[in-house]
Amino acid sequence: MPFKKAVLTPWGHRGFSARAHHRRLTTMGAGFYSNRTMTLITGPWTELQHWAAPLRTDVFVREQGVPQELEWDEEDHNAVHAVCLSPQGQALATGRLLVHGPGQARIGRMAVLASHRGLGLGRQVLRGLMAVARERGDRLVCLHAQTSARGFYEREGFVTQGEVFMEAGIEHIEMSCPLSH
């Protein structure tokens, strides 16, 4: 699967093009990365694994204690992945997009380095993956949100479905968001 490109800003996305591989982001957060251009890359696992895998290991396995055998699955090879890179090429945030059913996508493995949370990078990854889902014709995106991230997803238009449940030893809730075309 080829890379996709969209020009993103902290306020949303403008367009979508299959002609290039990277999305330019401008962060508005505080600190070193304030008002700096980031890059959001979407593509297959074979192209993004070298960035996404260490980041997911840091966040899920080391920080959150998810067993390695639960973190890695064959779905990585079927997913569209997104990685947000610093100007120096460091992976700061990641996520993946799967086909969940006809016209439905599932986003998962959303992770942002602890030192870079609150800068809008997770939002950019989420919006980038939603743009890919929209372009391929999906009408709905669903996900299993960690309950600590519920407010983040609600601010992006997701609504809860059902009750809290345990996944990989962490409380989650099913959430979904319709996609406008």
Q: Residue 50 sits in which domain range?
A: 5-178
Q: Domain total for the chain?
A: 1
Give which of 96, 118, 112, 9 is closest to 48, Cα–Cα.
96
The predicted-structure confidence for 24-74, as pLDDT tens digits, reads as follows: 554 444 444 444 688 999 999 999 999 999 999 999 999 999 998 889 899
- What is the Cα–Cα distance from 26 to 48, expressed in whole angstroms? 21
The predicted-structure confidence for 118-133, as pLDDT tens digits, reads as follows: 989 999 999 999 999 9
CB atoms within 10 A of CB 46: 11
Q: What is the mean pLDDT of residues 9-38?
A: 43
Q: In the prediction, which pLDDT does 54 show?
A: 96
Q: In the prediction, which pLDDT does 9 show?
A: 33
The predicted-structure confidence for 68-113, as pLDDT tens digits, reads as follows: 888 989 999 999 999 999 988 999 999 999 999 999 999 999 999 9
DSSP letters for 39-99: EEEEEEHHHHHHHHHHHHIIIIIIIT---HHHH--GGGGGSEEEEEE-TTS-EEEEEEEEE
pTM, to two decimals:
0.82
| 169 touches 135 (CB < 8 A) | no
CATH of the domain at 46: 3.40.630.30
Q: In the prediction, which pLDDT does 6 show?
A: 39
Average of per-residue pLDDT values in the chain: 84
